[in-house]
Amino acid sequence: MSGDPKIAIRGLRKSFGSKHVLQGIDLDVGVGESLVVIGGSGTGKSVMLKCILGLLQPDAGSIRIDGSEVVGLSAGEREALMRKFGMLFQGSALFDSLAVWENVAFGLIQGRGLKRAAAREIALQKLAAVGLGADVAALRPAELSGGMQKRVALARAIAAEPEIIFFDEPTTGLDPIMADIINDLIIKCVKDLGATAISITHDMASTRKIADRVAMIHNGRIIWAGLKSEIDRSGNPYVDQFIHGRAEGPIRMEVRAR
Amino acid sequence: MTERNFLASVGRTFLDFLAVTGRIVVFALAAIFYALRPPYYPRLILRQMVDVGYYSLPVVGLTAVFTGMVLALQTYTGFSRFAAENAIANVVVLSVTRELGPVIAGLMVAGRIGAAIAAEIGTMRVTDQIDALTTLSTNPYRYLVAPRLIAGFTMVPLLVLVADIIGVFGGFLVSTYKLQFNAASYIQRTVDFLQTQDVAAGLAKAAVFGFIVALMGCYNGYHSRGGAQGVGAATTYAVVSSSILILVFDYVLTEAFFAR
Ligand SMILES: Nc1ncnc2c1ncn2[C@@H]1O[C@H](COP(=O)(O)OP(=O)(O)OP(=O)(O)O)[C@@H](O)[C@H]1O
Ligand SMILES: [Mg+2]
């Protein structure tokens, strides 16, 4: 990491009622860096992304984007800030009242004021990049398979070529070949566009391919963060258990104790 | 002790009620605030207007015609004893324009549109589509809520205008075909008793009802949570609360317009 971080999170906390999901997250993401966040199901990975985006209001802590605080921005400032972001939601979250290409072009038309025809061209290019042809473009999201929806959502997230892109489980539900194509696409976004990316994944093959750095979240905190090359000798039993997918280990114990 | 518990629970319910009312008002103000500022979405507004206005015509028309017909029949039953059949035209035109047109249309729209709005926005909420809108630099109040409020506010009065005409026509049908009144004199009486201010007051009510229906649909949908079940609950709340509010505001507005 060189220079000031693109995203700097300090002491981020978020609870839902008595459920303390994030309990003091500290995390830096450098400019043009691809960070992969790993961690067990329900540990708050998606919640963390939503806090950074301002979709959830953090209970405490600071989030700085390009050095300026974004917690507690006004709605207008937030709307302007959103132009920097692209987000692939875990459940795709496609607009089911719009055609596939309109979904992909949405941020271009609404957010950047492009003409529909021009936006459509870009949308078709982005769809092609995720392996979807022009015949799919006119369909409704409900007419697509889950994996196809995910790819449309990915095309939508990158369509406006944002500075910061969040991928919440980009390869879940895809076949291994398509997953690898998506991995390449994510790498391309980061390398070619110089975007900063945070990806959440349970897929270790994908992690090893797309990550510059890896951070592991557990019990509401980042318990380990390091370069991808260090992940196999982290010396952290939680990380070891997670990357090898072992049922036995410190994480299982806590699940059992519930 | 039980008395205190009872009082406490009454107090809590009342406070909850105030809190919800406050949240709905804030929600409405936010939507109006964003509706008045660019970017505007004329296509979305138009689509909602067609949905609320045009596609509600059959239900509103059907209910209005039968309401007018039954009104004529009942009025005849009541007034014939006093040999005052001629009052039928009077009663029909007054009741329909002042009261029944707006209320019937409002309730039908609450069932048809309020439920649809709550279900659509609720589904968008629980599937993260509203969050997705935000990340695509689009304000959901402006994009989703404002067009529906505008459509409700403007189209329900037009629906009521149609309902007024059809309702009065229903009364005319029963009076002339079933009760064998003279058509020309019935029409003459209707025109004599037709008051601009009655119609205008009915339309003003309709605008308020339309706004209420759209607002309760949007509010309940927007704040729904917990998957399909949550969307179902939001839909129910939207229809029930807007129906109740329509009847409450009907009284309040009648008091304001007609009480001397
Ligand atoms: N809107 C919400 N209201 C209440 N609880 C929530 C909400 N969103 C998330 N949670 C809770 O926060 C916890 C973390 O959720 P989150 O979606 O971030 O998990 P995750 O790490 O992304 O898991 P997965 O890998 O399964 O996607 C969960 O226990 C969930 O129940
Ligand atoms: Mg998640």
Say if B8 falls within a structural domain: no
Residue A258 has pLDDT above 50, yes or no: no
Task: Give the HSE-up count for residue B101: Cα atoms under 13 Å, Cβ half-sphere.
Answer: 34
Q: Is B192 exposed, middle or buried (0-12, 13-18, 19+ CB in 10 A)?
A: exposed
Q: Which domain holds residue B64?
A: 44-258
Per-residue pLDDT of A222-246, as tens digits, reads 999 999 999 988 888 999 888 888 8
Shortest distance between the Cα of A236 and any Cα of chain B, in A, equals: 34
Does the interface predicted TM-score (ipTM) exceed 0.95?
A: no
Classify A235 as helix, strand or coil.
coil
Find the A59 Cα to ligand 1 centroid distance in Å. 15
What is the distance, to the nearest Å, from the Cα of residue B239 to the centroid of all Cα atoms in its chain? Answer: 10
Shortest distance between the Cα of B243 and any Cα of chain A, in A, equals: 27
**Which of B127, B128, B136 shows the shortest C-beta gap to A110?**
B136
Q: Whose CA is nearest to atom 29 of ligand 1?
A: A42
**Which of B124, B131, B143 shows the shortest C-beta gap to A89?**
B131
**Which element (helix H / strand E) includes A228?**
none
Subunit contact B138:A106, Cβ cutoff 8 A? yes
Per-residue pLDDT of A37-60, as tens digits, reads 999 888 999 999 999 999 999 999
Shortest distance between the Cα of A26 and any Cα of chain B, in A, equals: 23
What's the rounded Cα separation, in Å, for the pair B58 and B33? 33
Q: Are B96 and B88 in contact (CB under 8 A)?
A: no
What's the rounded Cα separation, in Å, for the pair A84 and A81? 6
Alpha-carbon dihedral angle through residues B1, B3, B5, B8, given to the nearest 10 degrees? -130
Atom of ligand 1 lying closest to residue A17 CA: 4
Ligand 1 neighbourhood includes A21 CB (under 6 angstroms): yes
Ligand 1 pocket test target in A13, A20, A21, A89 with most atoms within 8 Å of CB: A21
Position B179 scores a pLDDT of 87
Which protein residues have a CB closer than 5 Å to ligand 2 (ion)? A 46, 90
Residue A253 has pLDDT above 80, yes or no: no
Ligand found nearest the CA of A168: 2
Residue A1 has pLDDT above 50, yes or no: no
Residue type, B41: Y
* Percentage of chain B exceeding pLDDT 90: 77
Ligand 1 neighbourhood includes A54 CB (under 6 angstroms): no
- pTM attached to this predicted model: 0.90
For the ranges A182-196, A201-215, B57-71, B154-168, the lowest mean pLDDT is seen at A182-196
Classify A89 as helix, strand or coil.
coil
What's the rounded Cα separation, in Å, for the pair A199 and A187? 11
Position A191 scores a pLDDT of 85
B90 lies within 8 A of chain A by CB: no
Give the residue from A238, A160, A235, A242 showing the smallest Cα distance to A193: A160
Give B169's pLDDT tier (boundaries 50, 70, 90): very high
A106 lies within 8 A of chain B by CB: yes
Say if B221 falls within a structural domain: yes
Say if B14 falls within a structural domain: no
Ligand found nearest the CA of B126: 1
Find the B76 Cα to ligand 1 centroid distance in Å. 64
Say if B197 falls within a structural domain: yes
What's the rounded Cα separation, in Å, for the pair B191 and B172? 12
**Cis geometry, peptide bond prior to residue B39 (ω within 30 degrees of 0):** yes
Say if B28 falls within a structural domain: no
Pairing, β A7-16 against β A60-65: antiparallel
The count of domains in chain B is 1
Position A234 scores a pLDDT of 86
Residue A214 has pLDDT above 60, yes or no: yes
Subunit contact B132:A95, Cβ cutoff 8 A? yes
For the segment B154-173, the average pLDDT, to the nearest whole number, is: 96
Say if B19 falls within a structural domain: no
Per DSSP, the residues of chain B read -HHHHHHHHHHHHHHHHHHHHHHHHHHHHHHHHHHTSSSP-HHHHHHHHHHHTGGGHHHHHHHHHHHHHHHHHHHHHHHGGGT-TTHHHHHHHHHIIIIIHHHHHHHHHIIIIIHHHHHHHHHHHHTTHHHHHHHTT--HIIIIIHHHHHHHHHHHHHHHHHHHHHHHHHHHHIIIIIS---HHHHHHHHHHH--HHHHHHHHHHHHHHHHHHHHHHHHHHHT--SHHHHHHHHHHHHHHHHHHHHHHHHHHHHHHHH--
For the segment A80-107, the average pLDDT, to the nearest whole number, is: 94
What's the rounded Cα separation, in Å, for the pair A211 and A183? 10
For the segment B17-34, the average pLDDT, to the nearest whole number, is: 93
What's the rounded Cα separation, in Å, for the pair A8 and A176? 33
Residue A64 has pLDDT above 90, yes or no: yes
Per-residue pLDDT of B204-238, as tens digits, reads 999 999 999 999 999 999 999 888 999 999 999 99
Residue B36 has pLDDT above 80, yes or no: yes
B143 lies within 8 A of chain A by CB: yes
Find the A8 Cα to ligand 1 centroid distance in Å. 22
Please state, rounded to an integer, the average pLDDT across all residues of chain B.
92
Give the residue from B194, B23, B16, B178 showing the smallest Cα distance to B92: B194
Say if B29 falls within a structural domain: no
Task: Give the HSE-up count for residue B145: Cα atoms under 13 Å, Cβ half-sphere.
Answer: 29
Residue B80 has pLDDT above 80, yes or no: no
Per-residue pLDDT of B81-128, as tens digits, reads 765 567 889 899 999 999 999 999 999 999 999 999 999 999 999 999
What's the rounded Cα separation, in Å, for the pair B257 and A54? 46
Position B62 scores a pLDDT of 96
Which positions in chain B touch A106 (Cβ < 8 Å)? 136, 138
Position B247 scores a pLDDT of 96
Find the B37 Cα to ligand 2 centroid distance in Å. 35
Say if B26 falls within a structural domain: no
Which positions in chain B touch A82 (Cβ < 8 Å)? 134-137
Position A2 scores a pLDDT of 53
Shortest distance between the Cα of B235 and any Cα of chain A, in A, equals: 19
